[in-house]
Structure 1
Amino acid sequence: MTKTTRNTAAATEESFHKHYSAIWGGVRWQTSLYPALSAPTRYCALVNRYVPAHEARRALQSGSNEPGALPESLQQLNFPNVSVNDGKSAQASIGPICYVRPAPSSGEKVSRVGSTAAPLTFPPPQPAGSTPMQLLTHWNLDAASALAVSVLNVQTGDSVLDLCAAPGGKSVALAQSMWPHLHADSPVEPSGRMTGRLVSNEADGRRQKRLAENLQAYLPPQLFKQGAVSCTRVDASISGPSLNALLAGGSFDKVLVDAPCSSERHIIHAHLKAQGSGNLAPEMANWRSGSSKRLAKTQVELLMTALKAVKIGGQVMYATCSIEPTENDGVLEKMLALLGFPGASGASTMDEQLEQWAERTKHGWMVLPDHPGGGRWGPLYFALVTKIAG
């Protein structure tokens, strides 16, 4: 690295810290939020209920000294209890099931990316030998993603669109709730044609191909044969025939928009990893404080597409893994202004439960790894929008 490059890198890093210190407060950024973002990402294991439970247990206990059952060190996550439209409680038995290893205590030093400390992760998923297609046992993901899926509260028979779906973890999580009669351990025998559908969409060709492969590795083949699950490639931010075709399939009950974003934690991790070997990460070198405005334009377009796709009374979950308000509440502000509701703010019936995971924003919730609850999940911003008129 030349002296000029080194100086440029130092200036960019300084600008990065100044920018986010101004947003989150200097003390919190330096002493809490930045160190938490610098730590290795914590994962939970989303269990694939389309494989037998004993197969999932075997995969999760890989390397454990506790054969025959889940290791006692694993804990099942409890997601908020969401109410469905008819006032009944959502059936927890068909929601996402996620296991997690206990996080270090609050007084315990947290490692940074590049350290030799053992990450809070799980073994890779394994093919379930007892299923004809050898479906994979679990998906390792940030629990904040599973939280957003849980809050969206997909029900059996729903028509669901995952607008920016790659690599597929959230689609797999959504699918867990949609066809419980196909769960490997379900006492109900599957019969007849499937109700409900899941459309997983990705604009990028290479990522869409990988998305399709992942869905086929986790979900029962009859879902694809009967058209209950499909994988499309449409840029949902650009109007045209392809987008019209996607929206022409009928209104969706639920739409998930996990929008492309600044992904600051990825930038921080790439920077620390490169710094450890005396290099400069392009992610940090290319960072600019104004980039969020360009991204926000695309994010608003995606959110407006989602609102066109969802039926009246249906819901859209907007999410990003950015800590930049321009890409989060700012996008909701622009959406509300375009729809003629300037100044509106969000409301929630799950505040007490969600506060264990996240902090409230004007229009949504922000899951951050320095949250007092100690989960160390995120970052993930999410906001649930209900369509009340056409």
Structure 2
Amino acid sequence: MTKTVRNTAAATEASYHKHYAAIWGEERWHNSLYPALAERTRQAASVNRYAPISSFEACIEEVCELQQLEQISFPRMSSGDSTNGLICFARRQSVADASQTPSDDHKQSALPQPRLATSESISHRLMTHWNLDAASALVAHLLHVQPGDNVLDLCAAPGGKSIALAQNMWRHLYADRPSTHPVQKTGQLRSNELARDRFKRLTDNLKAYLPGLLLDFKHVASLNVDSTNPLAPQQLSIGSTGYDKVLVDAPCSSERHIIHAHLTARVAGRMAPEMATWRPGSSKRLAKTQVDLLMTGLQCVRLGGTLLYATCSIEPAENDGVVEKVLATVEKEVKKGGRWRVKVGFGSGAGDADLETSLEKEWAERTKYGWIVLPDHASGGRWGPLFFAMLTKVEVVR
């Protein structure tokens, strides 16, 4: 690294710290949040219920004993069917002593890569699990997808959240202990991605994880639509009423990725492109795209349906800022005769005290319009970052 590059890198890093310390507070940023973001991302294994659990267990036992796993506890939903088909495990955390290196800690928390399950039934020869940040699984859980729902994952690649959402949709097809309840409504899942390479990866993953008959009969399908285009709601349409549930996991600044790339490059005497191109105003460009995506999602969801907006950013402009802009836009349309508006929060805006208490204790902290999971949360879970806000589309009563 030349002196000029070194000076540029130092100035950019200083600007980065100054920007986020102003948002999160000097003490928290430097002593708690930044160090937590700089650590390796902790992963959980989301079990694929459409493959035999025995294959998942065999896969895990190649790296650790099953007793070393803990099941992730998600907050209980107060409304609707409380059955949760989404099952996630993580390695139990140990208190690192002074001699333990970050590499040692990573080895103790690592999970095996998914593999193809073994089964006498061809339909159950699917991938065993998906490794993800448990905050992503939390978002899928909170959308509260039920059998019979029509669901849209607007920014779906590489497919982890779509596969997590699918775990609750077709319980009668589970490889182990399938639901005995009669199947009255099948439900549909539409997973969308614009970029061609990511669209292919998404499609391949859906085929690798979900029963073939769901794809053969178009109960599950991948779409290749530009969700920022004004015509997107028509291209994504599933019928005259719209989707019951929509997930908008929007592309974002991904600050944790920038931090990891920067620290890795610095060790090698380089400057990471992710940090080199970062600017304090970078979020403004992304926020415009995020507003467009969220508006498309709201146009796609039915009246009375719910949408969950999420990012893995710690930048308020991409989180509460986007929700605020969309709410203002919707209210302007209402004044012009628009037929729907948006309620923010759980329970169609009325709130859910038990759920929110559990969230605050175990997972996240409140923001103006939603919640954010951060790796320095007092619970010690080390999950996130992940912001989310629950929105319900309701009819305007005049």
Same fold (TM over 0.5): yes
What is the CA–CA distance in structure 2 between the aligned matches of 1:277 and 1:74, rounded to whole Å?
34
Equivalent residues of 1:44, 1:121 under 8 A apart: no
Residue 118 of structure 2 is aligned to residue 129 of structure 1? yes
1:36-51 aligned within 5 A: 36-51=36-51
1:73 aligns with 68
Letter in 2 for 1:154: V
- Structure 2: segments with no counterpart, 5+ residues: 333-340
1:53 aligns with 53
Residue 135 of structure 2 is aligned to residue 149 of structure 1? no
Larger displacement relative to structure 2 (345-354 or 146-155): 345-354
What is the CA–CA distance in structure 2 between the aligned matches of 1:270 and 1:187, rounded to whole Å?
43
Could you give the per-residue CA deviations for residues 52-100 of structure 1, whole angstroms, max 9, x where no partner exists? 1211111122233x4xxxx11111111011133xxx45113x2x10001
What is the CA–CA distance in structure 1 between the aligned matches of 2:260 and 2:53, rounded to whole Å?
34
Q: Residues 196 and 340 (structure 1 numbering): CA distance in 2 closer, same or farther, change over 3 Å?
A: same
What is the CA–CA distance in structure 2 between the aligned matches of 1:195 and 1:108, rounded to whole Å?
54
1:104 deviates by 3.7
Of 131, 144, 149 in structure 2, the residue corresponding to residue 140 of structure 1 is 131
Equivalent residues of 1:252, 1:310 under 8 A apart: yes
Q: Residues 192 and 74 (structure 1 numbering): CA distance in 2 closer, same or farther, change over 3 Å?
A: closer
1:132 deviates by 1.3
What is the CA–CA distance in structure 2 between the aligned matches of 1:229 and 1:104, rounded to whole Å?
40
Question: TM-score w.r.t. structure 1 length?
Answer: 0.91
1:118 aligns with 106
1:196 aligns with 187
What is the CA–CA distance in structure 1 between the aligned matches of 2:112 and 2:96, rounded to whole Å?
25
1:107 deviates by 7.9
Q: Residues 389 and 266 (structure 1 numbering): CA distance in 2 closer, same or farther, change over 3 Å?
A: same
1:22 aligns with 22
Residue 93 of structure 2 is aligned to residue 103 of structure 1? yes
Local SS of the residue matching 1:385 = strand
1:357 aligns with 363
1:220-299 aligned within 5 A: 220-240=211-231, 243-247=233-237, 249-250=239-240, 251-299=242-290
Letter in 2 for 1:281: A
Of 364, 373, 378 in structure 2, the residue corresponding to residue 372 of structure 1 is 378
Of 196, 199, 206 in structure 1, the residue corresponding to residue 197 of structure 2 is 206
Equivalent residues of 1:106, 1:374 under 8 A apart: no
1:103 deviates by 2.3
- Structure 1: segments with no counterpart, 5+ residues: none
Q: Residues 126 and 194 (structure 1 numbering): CA distance in 2 closer, same or farther, change over 3 Å?
A: farther
Q: Residues 310 and 108 (structure 1 numbering): CA distance in 2 closer, same or farther, change over 3 Å?
A: farther
Letter in 1 for 2:270: N
Letter in 2 for 1:178: M
Residue 82 of structure 2 is aligned to residue 90 of structure 1? yes
What is the CA–CA distance in structure 1 between the aligned matches of 2:149 and 2:264, rounded to whole Å?
43
Larger displacement relative to structure 2 (130-139 or 213-222): 130-139
1:366 deviates by 0.4
Equivalent residues of 1:166, 1:202 under 8 A apart: yes
Q: Residues 305 and 343 (structure 1 numbering): CA distance in 2 closer, same or farther, change over 3 Å?
A: closer
1:168 aligns with 159
What is the CA–CA distance in structure 2 between the aligned matches of 1:180 and 1:220, rounded to whole Å?
11
1:9 aligns with 9
1:245 deviates by 1.9
Residue 380 of structure 2 is aligned to residue 383 of structure 1? no
Letter in 2 for 1:353: S
Q: Residues 2 and 249 (structure 1 numbering): CA distance in 2 closer, same or farther, change over 3 Å?
A: farther
Aligned positions, number: 377
Equivalent residues of 2:310, 2:386 under 8 A apart: yes
Letter in 2 for 1:38: A
